[in-house]
Amino acid sequence: MRYLPLTDHDRKEMMETIGIRTIEELFKDVPDKALLKKPVDLPVGQSEIEVEAHLKHLAGKNLSPSTAPCFLGAGIYRHHIPAAVDYLIQRGEFLTSYTPYQPEVSQGTLQSLFEFQTQVALLTGMEVANASMYDGATACAEATLMAGRVTKRKKFILSGGLHPHYRDVTETMARFLGAETITPDPDINGQEDLLSRVDDETACVVVQNPSFFGNLQDFNALADHCHSQGALLVAVVTEIVSLGAITAPGDMGADIVAAEGQSLGNAMSFGGPTVGLLAARNEYVRQLPGRLSGQTVDADNRRGFALTLSTREQHIRREKATSNICTNSGLCALAFTIHLTMLGEEGFTKLAYLNHANAVVLADQIDSLKHAEVLNTNFFNEFTVRLSKPADGVVNALVEKGILAGIPVSRLYPSLSETENLMLVAVTETNTKQDFNAFIDHLKRALA
Amino acid sequence: MSEIKFSKDHEWILIEGNTGTVGISNYAQEQLGDVVFVELPEAGKALTKGAEAAVVESVKAASEVYTPVGGTVTEANAALSDDPSKVNSDPMGDGWFFKISITDTSELDDLLDEAAYETYVKELD
Amino acid sequence: MNNQTATITGHRGLDHNEPLIFELDTPGQSGVDLPAPPDVNSRMGSHARNKPVGLPGISEPRVVRHYHRLSRMNYSIDGGFYPLGSCTMKYNPRINEKLARLPGLGDLHPLQPEKTVQGALELMHSCADWLMTLTGMPGIALSPGAGAQGELVGLMAIRSALEARGNPRKLVLVPESAHGTNPASAHACGYAVRSIPDDERGRVDFEAFQNALDEDVAALMLTNPSTCGLFENDIIRIADALHEAGAFFYCDGANFNAMVGRVRPGDLGIDTMHLNLHKTFSTPHGGGGPGSGPVVFSEALMPFAPLPAIEIKDGQFQLIEHIQDSGDSPFGRVKGFHGQFGMFVRAVAYMLSLGSDGLRQVSSDAVLNANYLLSQLDDVLHLPFEGPCMHEVLFDDRSLKDTGVTTLDIAKALLDEGFHPMTIYFPLVVHGAMLMEPTETESKKTLDSYIKALRGLIEQSHAGQSEKMHNAPQLTPRRRLDETAAARHPILRWNPKTEKTAE
């Protein structure tokens, strides 16, 4: 057993030192009927050779987006991660370190988090950001609870353009705290009226930009109206690369921004782990959940960093904490910050534009087909296509040809007839001309 | 004629007629360590005796501060938001938390006078 | 600075003073090359960004150097012994990292058609199977993002079950020794917290528990072994009392390393328990996550488990993502997509590597190592509760009385000795707590080295060397940081307008 350094000789010696004859003596407090006398009924331990073979076998049963033209989005995106990112996050000092509770030996983590917090604030146009949440959906939920604490109100209005998972997670969390969520119909065309729903009982309105359906919107007027009613505007971003090309939520009057950072630094990994981003105005910093890395000096007056404002958190405030969150998404946040650091201003804005340009190429090609229509006027790198047949069947037909063509909206909105023929298509810098040709060719045939 | 009294939770109240100024004792600030933040009640807030009035935070702890007497908050010490360290350096003076207009002065009767409080604190250690 | 040779650069040998990325900005530079975009008309309209983001530009070699240098300022399990109580800092096997990155596992999109991800669903199902077998529980939700979220899920299922009976009740019993996430999770579930004391044995006071158990109590949240490192002897009695009162039993599974392969919590009468894959099941801590907190359920609570679920139908694995497709009453969804799949891969690789025999040896060695520490330190450190302990041992600071040296000072002095300190000041039930969990992946030699260092520091404390302890650490990348200033005047981001601070 390669992970167990104790030898039988060690064990014997240690037991003698302790003054016991059998290991069972150390388990004397366990009720006898609950103490298993032999190993549970599971396979015995295996070598790396066997474990690897088994997992490769499981991997082989899946269609890998690395080898297939992939146009899947809906909150998780296939992007190119520069090779250096994965090597750096696998350095043992990053991979196998703990939460930086002893700052003197954790400056690597603390400084990179400080840089991460700054980057998130810059991207979103906000003043302060935390050191990550589990994912975008829980960040969204926590943002509404935060708005509830700030405004002392219990009603959250969730746009019909919000990702259904984000809507569901927010609704679940709110319900257990006795808060009310208002969930208008899906906003396929980006024309919903949220303004008239805001009143003096509203804690916040949650909007997503680009929306779940790919629409781009300006929220200045909505933000102003919310503020006039004493409510906050929460903006959600599921494709963080979009912020390299479109107006930041902070520049549209958002008070809190909740986002998914997976697109930078993090493989899709079947949807987890990813990294939630949470940013806000300075005046709300004490209501922010999660960890915060703060700048300070050490006893030699050298600049250093430490976790701070910890009295917001569960280990000190317990039931009065801003959240129960403890472990967050440290290594994924590190991957995010390394990737974004490599891109820099030039690279990030270029990457965003490239995503958009590729998406326009495909959208134009789709629009020129019979039986398919792109619904969005404006979009970033994802749009909604209306097909002449149920999207589910079309997607399956293209999968048979080895193409991951898009996501049927019915996968996330199963009960709505008006979404049956709709398909979400995402395009990134990883899609090539050959991908587009294959997509169009096979889509034509599937729709004929 | 002003008078100072203490609660067993280490709050002090300086009584001048029907107004009380409330803060935390020297013992309390010593136990807390460096104060980093104080959350104060808003003027106009009505409090009953023993209710949570404020929260005082150090790096590693947050403690509730309870009002020793019922009434309405008239003023909170705005200086503490810029300089919470006053709670440590001058807990009985500049480090005051809030002023309260006292509804029922008989609620002061069960508080300790200075000498009694000092005895009480000695016994805690 | 003591015993520091001044250098011209401020660097010291292999230890480099590394600025912030914002201080390394070369405008226009990038570490990533990209192909030229196709020539198109923009479809972003008036929503296109009209001002810069403000990110620094740095070449790839300089970025790599930056993070390389930062990493060298971190202590890690790879670097040394990390005896943090209740964190289970065991070795993170590298084969797990390799397998999590396999094409066909690490690169899957969560919303690919089900038939294209049967291997992934099979892996999740297998993970669920192993965890249910090890815990002896019939139901599971894999989705929670970490332990704290797992706690919340367990409580949400309990509340849902009680609501289905007509009365959610009002409060949750939480021992005073509990981890802070417990009361925080109770609050997030809409429950008030009633604290129950420990007794002089370091376990829940059974009489106090019984007195606190009334018809307003929805559940007890109990960590077993307790946060004092001790097995709750009364646990079956506690379970019975809860069930008789119509309440449920939530078990905090953070300390499962003491029991894995040897005790099944299901046999102890629990209703739900979260597991920390980043503790017991070796997935890496990553400087603060990601974790993964699957939750197991009893028969009574299974119907309420959150979405998604995995089922097998006609030999095919299916994801149940919507309430209408579930035959049960899931209380909702707590996370986007399907859970921390990358951590399932690692945990499955770990469980396959160890197997049922290896996992049983894990708890044996973990408990043996902790008791070895106990036996080698209990003459110089005060043991508040009689042993034997389980996988971790708790001391308090009574033996340091009158030395002027605190638990904090000892922890900082250990840093200079090359060790990450134990958990300090938790649990709150003893004064100046020192909670040590060696784990099973440490050798006797390492334990002896730690014991020697700790004994030496305690001796120095008694020999009047408190000054040295107060000044520790001296040899780490930074000395003690001014956390008061950090909290009084929070600087939470770099700002171009801020003055350059002292280096």
CB contact under 8 A, A429 and C35: yes
Cis peptide preceding C473, ω within 30 of 0: yes
Q: What percentage of residues in chain C have a pLDDT greater than 70?
A: 98
pLDDT tens sequence across C83-108: 999 999 999 999 999 999 999 999 99
What average pLDDT does range C217-230 have in this prediction? 96
Chain B nearest C-alpha distance from A323 (Å): 15
CA–CA min distance B59, chain A (Å): 7
Average pLDDT over residues B44-50: 95
Residue C283 CA to residue C261 CA, distance in Å, equals 18
Q: What is the pLDDT of residues B2-25, one digit of tens each?
A: 899 999 999 999 999 999 999 999
DSSP 3-state percent helix, strand, coil across chain B (nearest 5) = 25, 40, 40
Residues of A in contact with C218 (CB under 8 A): none
Contacts of A286 in chain B (CB under 8 A): 37
Domain boundaries, chain A: 8-51, 83-339, 344-447
Backbone angles phi, psi at C257, to 5 degrees: -60, -25
Answer yes or no: is pLDDT of C500 > 60.
no
Measured between beta carbons, which residues in chain A are less than 8 angstroms from residue B61? Answer: 311, 316
Which among C43, C51, C481 has CB closest to A298? C481
Q: How confident is the model at residue A121 (pLDDT cuts 50, 70, 90)?
A: very high
Residue C487 touches chain B, beta carbons under 8 Å = yes
Average pLDDT, rounded, for chain A: 96
Q: Kindly report the CATH number that applies to the domain delimited by A344-447.
A: 3.90.1150.10
Which chains reach chain A with 3 or more Cβ–Cβ distances below 8 angstroms?
Answer: B, C
> Could you read off the pLDDT of C132-160 as tens digits, one per residue?
999 999 999 999 999 999 999 999 999 99
Cβ–Cβ of C487/B60 closer than 8 Å? no
Q: Which of A182-191, A309-318, C183-192 has the lowest mean pLDDT?
A: A309-318
Please tell me which residue of chain C has the smallest CA distance to B38.
C488
Q: What are phi and psi of A194, to 5 degrees?
A: -95, -25
Helix (H, G, I), strand (E, B) or coil at C127: helix
DSSP percent split of chain C into helix, strand, coil, nearest 5: 35, 15, 50
pLDDT of C1: 44
Give the separation between CA A91 and CA C290, rounded to whole angstroms. Answer: 16
Cβ-based contacts of A134 with chain C (< 8 Å)? 145-146, 149, 289-290, 335
**Percent of chain A clearing pLDDT 70 (strictly above):** 100
- DSSP H helices, A205-270, are 220-228
User: Could you tell me what percent of chain A has a pLDDT over 90?
Assistant: 94
8-state DSSP, A242:
G
Task: Over range A99-108, report the average pLDDT.
Answer: 97
- What residue of A is the nearest CA neighbor of B57? A311
Domain C95-351 falls under CATH 3.40.640.10: yes
DSSP assignment of C255-293, as one string? Answer: GGGGTTTTB-GGGGT-SEEE--TTTTT----TTT-----
* pLDDT (0 to 100) of residue C498: 59
* C99/A18 touch (CB, cutoff 8 Å), yes or no: no
Please compute the mean of the pLDDT values over residues C200-204 and round it to a whole number.
92
Q: Of all residues in chain A, what percent are helix, strand and coil, respectively (each to 5)?
A: 45, 15, 40
Q: Which residues of B touch A319 (CB under 8 A)?
A: none
3 state SS of A205: strand
Residue A231's pLDDT is 98
* pLDDT, tens only, C351-388: 999 999 999 999 999 999 999 999 999 999 999 999 89
Domain extent at residue B45: 3-124
Which long-range contacts (C-beta less than 8 Å, at least 24 apart) are formed by A409-413? Answer: A409/A213, A409/A384, A411/A74, A411/C111, A411/C321, A412/A74, A412/A163, A412/A164, A412/A165, A412/A212, A412/C111, A413/A164, A413/A186
| Three-state DSSP state, A46 | coil
At residue C2, the pLDDT reads 47
pLDDT in tens, C489-498: 999 999 987 5
CB-based contact, A437 to chain B, within 8 Å: no
Question: Which long-range CB contacts under 8 A does C456-461 form with residues at least 24 apart?
Answer: C456/C417, C457/C410, C457/C413, C457/C414, C457/C417, C458/C380, C458/C381, C458/C399, C458/C400, C458/C410, C459/C380, C461/C400, C461/C403, C461/C405, C461/C409, C461/C410
Q: Measured between alpha carbons, how far is A183 from A206 in angstroms, rounded to an integer?
A: 10
Q: Do C484 and B60 touch (CB under 8 A)?
A: no
pLDDT tops 80 at residue C501: no
Rounded to whole angstroms, the Cα distance separating C118 from B84 reads 59
Is it the case that residue C180 has pLDDT exceeding 90?
no
Tell me the domain boundaries of chain C: 95-351, 355-479
Contact between B85 and C488 using a beta-carbon 8 Å cutoff:
yes
Q: Which amino acid is at A54?
A: H
Contact C484 B57 (CB under 8 A): no
Interface confidence (ipTM) of the complex:
0.97
pLDDT score of C3 more than 80:
no
> Is the CB of residue A171 less than 8 Å from the CB of residue A199?
no
- Domain A83-339: state its class: alpha beta
Q: What is the pLDDT of residues A218-267, one digit of tens each?
A: 999 999 999 999 999 999 999 999 999 999 999 999 999 999 999 999 99
Average pLDDT in the C227-253 region?
97
- Fold for domain C355-479? Aspartate Aminotransferase, domain 1 (3.90.1150)
Question: Could you report the per-residue pLDDT of C263-282, keeping only the tens digit for each?
Answer: 999 999 999 999 999 999 99
Asked if C197 contacts C226 with a C-beta cutoff of 8 angstroms, the reply is no
pLDDT of residue A315: 82
pLDDT at B125 over 80: no
Predicted confidence at residue B113, as pLDDT, reads 94
Residues 6+ apart with CB under 8 A from A196: none
Mean pLDDT of C191-198: 95
Question: Per residue in A154-190, pLDDT tens?
Answer: 999 999 999 999 999 999 999 999 999 999 999 999 9
Question: What is the rounded distance in angstroms from the CA atom of residue A263 to the CA atom of residue A241?
Answer: 7
Mean pLDDT of A348-352: 98
| Residues on chain C touching B36 (C-beta within 8 angstroms) | 484, 487-488
Alpha-carbon Rg for chain A, nearest whole angstrom, is 25
**Residue corresponding to tokens 């297939």:** A68
pLDDT band, residue A415 (cuts 50/70/90)? confident
What dihedral angle (degrees, nearest 10) is formed by the CA atoms of A164, A167, A173, A176?
-100
Give the model's confidence band at C401: pLDDT under 50 very low, under 70 low, under 90 confident, else very high.
very high
pTM over 0.80: yes
What number is the average pLDDT over the span A403-412? 98
**SS3 state of residue C319:** strand
Can you tell me which residue has the tokens 């401020």?
A: C10
Residue C197 pLDDT more than 90? yes
Confidence of residue A316 (pLDDT cuts 50, 70, 90): confident
Task: Residue C501: name the closest of C476, C481, C475 by CA.
Answer: C481
Question: A62 and chain C: CB distance < 8 Å anywhere?
Answer: yes
Closest-CA residue of chain B to C488? B36
From residue C425, give the alpha-carbon distance in Å to each of C395, C430, C437: 10, 8, 14
Distances in whole angstroms, Cα of residue C363 to Cα of each of C250, C268, C282, C392: 22, 17, 13, 11
- What is the number of CB-based contacts under 8 A between chain B and chain C? 16
- What percent of chain C has a predicted confidence (pLDDT) above 90? 95
- pLDDT tier at C502 (50, 70, 90 boundaries)? very low
Please report, for the domain that includes residue B9, its CATH number: 2.40.50.100
